[in-house]
Amino acid sequence: MDDYTLPFWIYLGVLTVFVGGAMKKILASHLSTRLWAFCLPAVLLLALLGFACCIYSAVRSSPPPATLPAHGKAVFITGCDSGFGNAAAKRLDTLGFEVFATVLDLSGDGAKELQRTCSPNLTLLQVDITQPQQVQQALLDTKAKLGLKGLWGLVNNAGVCVNFGDAELSLMSNYRGCMEVNFFGTLTVTKNFLPLLRQSKGRIVTISSPAGDQPFPCLAAYGASKAALNLFINTLRHELEPWGVRVSTILPSSYKTGQSSNHAYWEQQHKNLLQSLPPGLLEEYGEDYVTETKELFQSHACQANTDLSPVVNTIVQALLSPQPQARYFAGPGVGLMYFIHSYCPFSISNRFLQKLFVKKKLMPQALRKQSSFDLNLSLHNNNNNEEKLKR
């Protein structure tokens, strides 16, 4: 059962249990005759929902439609030094795409691997997407090689997550860094390459994150940048529909990419944060509180999935499907997470996120001191009351 169908069946099951329990109580009460007529529409609605579910399941299990041919189509991908971009560039090259892959460092390991393993149809371009001049030069280089042929696909993959910690503890440089790459950088690339995409009636595929839709604890800077990106891409999807350009967003689950498994990276981030925080603020939260957060992020990164194929497969699907979806969930659990976020009460979805991502045990130091003071005060008052009763 795939990640899309599971939440729908869970929803139906919960609804069935709820309605069934309610009907059992009604039939057992003396009001059953009058309430039966009132509840009959609900029973019919449940039956209709079950029928629709069966149809939906049958459609999902039917053979997928034939995909478009990859041969002769050109794709521009950002952020191919490692992770999703590197894996996608290799897969698309194998399928016969003409790939333009951007890297931050042409002499880096990721670029050398692409040069070594891919065909001559792959072109490496050194581009920092936060530098408009480099993006414009990449556009000129791409147009020069394409000639009169348009660009079929743009894969916005480049992104960073440079913060960990509570929103108040996150440095302003982290907020700006995430926005510069994840939002403004992607915006710059997309605007520059849109004329080529409109010419070919092609595709825009953007790798975003559930953190842009849901308030993950300790990811305020990253989540805010992805939220801005999601809104931009969704707006673009409506505006480009008359031009025949299809726009898709991919929402991956947790994967081991970039610096996420680099122990030295986390230690350096932690050191920079401790050195940059105002002494008063650090005292209120406590160094042990900040250290625990760093360790939780490291642990979460170590447990992340190393198999990037679900995301890469989804990129290929979004580029070659005759009817690409507006939103793809890539990886286990993402569909269920969005189901809980969309249909469950806020208190449940909020607690789910807290338990799912960063399971903090320590409270900020100031709150611990306050709790200790309140406890001592309560014990003192109880002792006084006992002495008065003895007298």
Q: Distance between CA atoms of 229 and 251, rounded to whole angstroms?
A: 12
Beta strands in 34-192 (DSSP E): 74-77, 98-103, 122-126, 153-156
Distance between CA atoms of 345 and 325, rounded to whole angstroms? 27
Helix, strand, coil tally for the chain in percent (to 5): 60, 10, 30
285 is catalytic: no
CA distance 280 to 3: 46
Distance CA 147, CA 149 (A): 5
Residues 37/39/44/45 CA torsion (nearest 10 deg)? 140
Residues 6+ apart with CB under 8 A from 334: 3, 210, 251, 252, 253
Residue 385's CB is within 10 A of a number of other CB atoms, namely 10
Strands 153-156 and 327-330: unpaired
| Angle at 240 (CA atoms; ends 239, 242), nearest 5 degrees | 95
Read off the DSSP letter of residue 203.
Answer: E
Give the DSSP letter of residue 181: I
- Catalytic pick among 175, 222, 285, 328: 222
247: nearest Cα among 213, 199, 198 = 198
Q: Which amino acid is at 39?
A: C
C-beta separation of 142 from 196 below 8 A: yes
Please give the Cα distance from 371 to 364 (Å, whole number): 11
Closest-CA residue to 216 (of 248, 253, 183, 269)? 253
State the DSSP code for 243: G
Dist CA 121 CA 70 (whole Å): 13
- CA nearest neighbour of 95 among 152, 135, 157: 152
Catalytic residues: 222
